[in-house]
Protein backbone atom coordinates (compact mmCIF):
# COMPACT_ATOMS: atom_id res chain seq x y z
CA UNK A 1 0.00 0.00 0.00
CA UNK A 2 1.25 3.47 -0.79
CA UNK A 3 -0.22 6.58 0.84
CA UNK A 4 0.77 10.10 -0.18
CA UNK A 5 -0.19 13.27 1.66
CA UNK A 6 0.56 16.86 0.61
CA UNK A 7 0.35 19.59 3.25
CA UNK A 8 1.54 23.19 3.46
CA UNK A 9 2.64 24.24 6.95
CA UNK A 10 3.83 27.74 7.81
CA UNK A 11 6.74 26.77 10.08
CA UNK A 12 10.46 26.03 9.84
CA UNK A 13 11.17 22.75 8.04
CA UNK A 14 13.01 21.23 11.02
CA UNK A 15 10.00 21.88 13.31
CA UNK A 16 7.55 20.35 10.84
CA UNK A 17 9.78 17.30 10.28
CA UNK A 18 10.03 16.75 14.05
CA UNK A 19 6.25 17.12 14.49
CA UNK A 20 5.55 14.52 11.80
CA UNK A 21 8.26 12.02 12.76
CA UNK A 22 8.56 12.10 16.57
CA UNK A 23 6.03 9.89 18.39
CA UNK A 24 5.66 12.30 21.34
CA UNK A 25 4.92 15.18 18.95
CA UNK A 26 2.47 13.09 16.91
CA UNK A 27 0.56 12.34 20.11
CA UNK A 28 0.13 16.11 20.66
CA UNK A 29 -1.47 16.98 17.29
CA UNK A 30 -3.00 13.78 15.86
CA UNK A 31 -6.70 13.85 16.80
CA UNK A 32 -9.97 13.78 14.89
CA UNK A 33 -11.49 16.38 17.26
CA UNK A 34 -11.12 17.67 20.82
CA UNK A 35 -13.03 14.55 21.95
CA UNK A 36 -10.24 12.25 20.73
CA UNK A 37 -6.57 11.77 21.55
CA UNK A 38 -3.66 9.66 20.36
CA UNK A 39 -2.58 7.22 23.04
CA UNK A 40 0.38 5.67 21.20
CA UNK A 41 2.55 6.39 18.18
CA UNK A 42 5.57 4.77 16.59
CA UNK A 43 7.66 5.75 13.58
CA UNK A 44 10.18 3.68 11.62
CA UNK A 45 11.34 5.80 8.69
CA UNK A 46 13.33 3.06 6.97
CA UNK A 47 12.15 1.74 3.60
CA UNK A 48 9.57 -0.90 4.48
CA UNK A 49 9.19 0.62 7.96
CA UNK A 50 5.90 1.49 9.60
CA UNK A 51 4.10 4.59 10.83
CA UNK A 52 1.50 3.70 13.43
CA UNK A 53 -0.72 5.74 15.74
CA UNK A 54 -3.63 4.76 17.98
CA UNK A 55 -6.47 7.22 18.42
CA UNK A 56 -9.16 6.79 21.09
CA UNK A 57 -12.21 8.72 22.23
CA UNK A 58 -11.38 10.50 25.49
CA UNK A 59 -14.56 9.15 27.09
CA UNK A 60 -13.48 5.57 26.32
CA UNK A 61 -16.39 4.87 23.96
CA UNK A 62 -14.18 4.05 20.93
CA UNK A 63 -10.61 2.96 20.32
Report pLDDT digits (tens) over 15-61: 999 999 999 999 999 999 999 999 999 999 999 999 999 999 999 99
| Domain membership of residue 52 as a residue range | 13-57
The pTM of this model reads 0.80
Is position 17 within any domain?
yes
In a domain, 1, yes or no: no
Provide DSSP, the chain: ---------SS-HHHHHHHHH-HHHHHHH--SSTTEEEEEEEE--STT--EEEEEEETTSS--
- Residue 27 within a domain: yes
Amino acid sequence: MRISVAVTVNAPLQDVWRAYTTPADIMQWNAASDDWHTTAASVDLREGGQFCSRMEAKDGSFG
